[in-house]
């Protein structure tokens, strides 16, 4: 999805403000949200890409004005309602109805399902990030689409983000690809700089 969350290489958003001695959590509710998310992921009730998908679906002004954990809160709220873990009435009251039926089972499998076919690319292969404008959640940044890099490492299987965002597990090979800065930003980029970006196999094609 080409949304406000994908701002790599974009200008005009001002400097990044670094908070001195920043705590992990600024308030107890942030700790509660983080704990809820980790519990849902650890129990197999939610994939991390579902968390990301719901964050990305927000209107840009809402996403950009929210704090980090406000975006998490928005996502996990949408997730528990979508999964039938709570009702809107329970969420509003803060109390669980003891007579409520058991929630439906999760479709997300916590068991790895590694790809059975051999990896398409090897370390040292030149590859190009596909030019795509997906409507679903994706982990392929806009600024690398159509750019050429070199495979630096093969991790093994990783859930395909587009399907994982919908709670369906299918694994592909994950590659670490090195992109030279000049390939991404042009001749004004620092000559010795490069970015290493992790990309699943279906995001890549052989470089011409």
Domain of 27: which CATH number? 1.10.472.20
**CATH code of the domain containing 143:** 2.30.30.50
Task: Answer with the one of 51, 83, 98 that is the final residue of a domain.
Answer: 98
What does the pLDDT average to over 46-57?
Answer: 94
Looking at the chain, the number of H-run helices and the number of E-run strands are 7, 5
Confirm whether pTM is higher than 0.75: yes
Q: Does 140 fall in a domain?
A: yes
Q: Do 1 and 94 lie in a common domain?
A: yes
Q: Do 65 and 137 lie in a common domain?
A: no
Q: What is the pLDDT of residues 29-50, one digit of tens each?
A: 999 999 999 999 988 889 999 9
Mean of the per-residue pLDDT values of the chain = 92
Q: Do 39 and 94 lie in a common domain?
A: yes
Q: Does 53 fall in a domain?
A: yes
Q: Do 1 and 70 lie in a common domain?
A: yes
Q: Comparing 3-17, 56-70, 181-195, which segment has the lowest mean pLDDT?
A: 3-17
Q: Does 9 fall in a domain?
A: yes
Q: Does 117 fall in a domain?
A: no
* Residue 16 or residue 23, greater confidence: 23
Q: What is the pLDDT of residues 173-201, one digit of tens each?
A: 999 999 999 999 999 899 899 999 999 99
Quick one: pLDDT at residue 96? Answer: 84
DSSP 39-102: HHHHTTS--HHHHHHHHHTS-HHHHHHS-HHHHHHHHHHHHHHHTTSS-HHHHHHT---TTSPP
The Cα 51–Cα 55 span in angstroms is 6
The Cα 56–Cα 71 span in angstroms is 9
Q: Do 91 and 131 lie in a common domain?
A: no
In this structure, the chain runs to a length of 208
Is pLDDT of 202 > 90?
yes
Q: Does 11 fall in a domain?
A: yes
Q: What is the pLDDT of residues 18-29, one digit of tens each?
A: 999 999 999 999
Is pLDDT of 150 > 90?
yes
* Residue 63 or residue 9, greater confidence: 63
Lay out the sheet containing 194-200: strands in order across. 194-200, 171-180, 148-159, 126-129, 204-206
Q: Do 150 and 78 lie in a common domain?
A: no
Q: Do 85 and 143 lie in a common domain?
A: no
Q: Do 133 and 90 lie in a common domain?
A: no
Tokens of 193: 């700089």
Quick one: pLDDT at residue 50? Answer: 94
Tokens of 146: 């159509």
Q: Does 21 fall in a domain?
A: yes
Is pLDDT of 143 > 90?
yes
Q: Do 8 and 92 lie in a common domain?
A: yes
| Number of domains observed in the structure of the chain | 2
Enclosing domain of residue 58: 1-98
Q: Do 15 and 90 lie in a common domain?
A: yes
Q: Do 14 and 88 lie in a common domain?
A: yes
Residue 111 — very low, low, confident or very high, per pLDDT cuts 50/70/90?
A: confident
């Amino acid at each position: 999805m080409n949304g406000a969350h994908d701002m790599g290489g974009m200008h005009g958003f001002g400097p990044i403000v670094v908070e001195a001695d920043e705590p992990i959590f600024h308030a107890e509710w942030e700790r509660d949200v983080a704990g809820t998310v980790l519990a849902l992921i650890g129990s197999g009730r939610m994939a991390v890409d579902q968390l990301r998908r719901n964050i990305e679906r927000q209107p840009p002004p809402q996403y950009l004005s929210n704090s980090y954990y406000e975006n998490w809160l928005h996502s996990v709220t949408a997730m528990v309602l979508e999964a039938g873990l709570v009702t809107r009435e329970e969420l509003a009251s803060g109390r669980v109805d003891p007579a409520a039926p058991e929630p439906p089972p999760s479709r997300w499998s916590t068991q790895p399902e590694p790809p059975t076919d051999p990896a398409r690319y090897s370390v040292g292969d030149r590859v190009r990030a596909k030019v795509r404008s997906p409507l679903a959640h994706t982990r392929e940044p806009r600024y690398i689409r159509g750019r050429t890099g070199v495979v630096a490492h093969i991790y093994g299987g990783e859930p395909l983000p587009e399907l994982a965002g919908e709670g369906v597990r299918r694994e592909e090979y994950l590659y670490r690809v090195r992109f030279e800065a000049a390939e991404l930003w042009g001749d004004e980029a620092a000559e010795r700089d490069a970015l290493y970006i992790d990309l699943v196999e279906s995001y890549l094609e052989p470089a011409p």
